Amino acid sequence: MGSKFSKIGFVLAVAGSAVGLGNAWKFPTLVGQNGGSAFVLLYLVLTLGVAFVIFLAELSIGKLSEKDPVNGYKTLAPTNKKTWSMAGFTMLGAILIVSFYSLVIGWVVKYMYFSATGNLSQTLEESEKQFTNLLLNDFLSQFICFSLIFLIVFYVVSKGVKNGIERLNVWMMPTLFILLILMLFYALSHTNGFSEALQFLFVPDFSKISGTSILEALALAFFSLSLGVGTIITYSASLPDKTNFITSTLNIILINILIGLMMGLIVFTFIFEFGANPNQAGPGLIFISLTTLFAKLGIVGYILGATFFLSLIFAGITSAISMIEPFAFYLINTFKMSRKNALILIGLIVYILGNLCILSTLSITEFKILGMSFFDVLDYISGKIIMPLGGILAAIFVGFVMKKKALEILFEPYMSGVFFKVWYFFLRFIAPLAVIIIVINAFK
Ligand code: TRP
């Protein structure tokens, strides 16, 4: 990415990457499917004990090498440079992610349009029909909305991440936050649904937890912090000196968790209030639950809805950008490609994969691989295989291969010695082991 971010620019770019549909769409959906509170607790523990630890490892690789993931590993490995550089190719996972992720942003575009035109349903059944209809039958809308997002995302990346997008973030993140608070207040006035939602999210019931749900929680913790596929390495390559990256990271994690929880409270309040089953709604959960909320509020709701979906679109776009940048940065560095050519190549792949995702859920062209739609296959491979692998490799590399001295120098200004020791221990022994055990346990 060449030059460095401004101090606040780095924080905004990483926060922009972290906060996205992972919080607004994946979090409530997975919480619903995995029985609520115990899953939330697991997610919090794994975020702090594993994801945070690995986040700092990826940040170190980026900051100390100032390169893309592949060349970063290569530069920092004292021996076996070629072999270690392979670890950087986990960044291709981000290309799989951006293909289905842009489609989900496309759905949000469609919902913004529904809100703006007053076309939302008042009952849960009706909204569920509306959502299923979009996925099963409406190729044209999905194609147009996906293509639109695709063009915007690639256009912004072509301008370089640091121009423009930073400025956008300054406005969009607070807007999203304020809208969430307003919606939370409205949810609060539905006392029954709200108290059920509170209970669902915060009173743990461990009987609902299985090996697979632990892996889901881990994958979500990685996904929502953009870990394991080179994003954090790439952004940290432009981390300005003298930024207190520990405080920044903790702030980003806090915002991320907060947005997820607020979103969850809002969504589940309306799910319970209107008597739906949180675990049945699937990927449409947020669309189905929120649209009924907006529809009930009449004209105010339509305005609120359109603004809310718009801010989600922006949150999604800043995340999507961060998935493309690592591979683009690599192609530019390694093959001396122009940014434009690199993006044409990546764009071609993403556009094809994205369209296959659309086709894979339509009722007429539906195709499944091992019982999953192509959409779910991309989600599965990236989230449950590549991201954990990328995380383990980063942990082992920074914990065992890189020189400790360089890390101490990097961390010293912002972290007390004790904290460093704890982090280093977690990095070497707890985090990689936890990831390995969780993955094996889920697959056996
Ligand atoms: N963290 C983002 C979200 O929660 C998604 C995201 C952005 C991401 N960059 C990523 C996920 C890289 C995995 C890898 O929506």
The pair of structure tokens assigned to 280 is 């049945």
Whether 361 is in the pocket of ligand 1, judged by its Cβ within 6 Å, is no
Q: How far apart are the first and last CA of the chain?
A: 41
pLDDT tier, 316 (very low <50, low <70, confident <90, very high otherwise): very high
- 97 and 323 Cβ atoms separated by less than 8 Å: yes
What pLDDT was estimated at residue 300?
86
Report which secondary-structure segment, H or E, holds 7. helix 7-18
- 90 and 386 Cβ atoms separated by less than 8 Å: yes
* pLDDT, greater one: 5 or 407: 407
Average pLDDT over residues 9-19: 86
Q: Which of 40-44, 146-150, 242-246, 429-433 has the lowest mean pLDDT?
A: 242-246
What 3 state SS string does 322-355 have? Answer: HHHHHHHHHHHHHHCCCHHHHHHHHHHHHHHHHH
What pLDDT was estimated at residue 144?
98
Phi, psi of 314 (to 5 degrees): -65, -45
**Tell me: the pLDDT tens digits for 268-287?**
888 888 777 777 667 788 88
The pTM (predicted TM-score) of the whole model is: 0.92
Whether 62 is in the pocket of ligand 1, judged by its Cβ within 6 Å, is no
What spacing in Å lies between the alpha carbon of 193 and ligand 1's midpoint? 30
> Which CATH fold topology does 7-442 show?
Hydantoin permease (1.10.4160)
**Tell me: the pLDDT tens digits for 183-193?**
899 889 888 99
Candidate from 103, 220, 223 with most ligand 1 atoms within 8 A of CB, to mutate: 223
Candidate from 12, 107, 156, 322 with most ligand 1 atoms within 8 A of CB, to mutate: 322
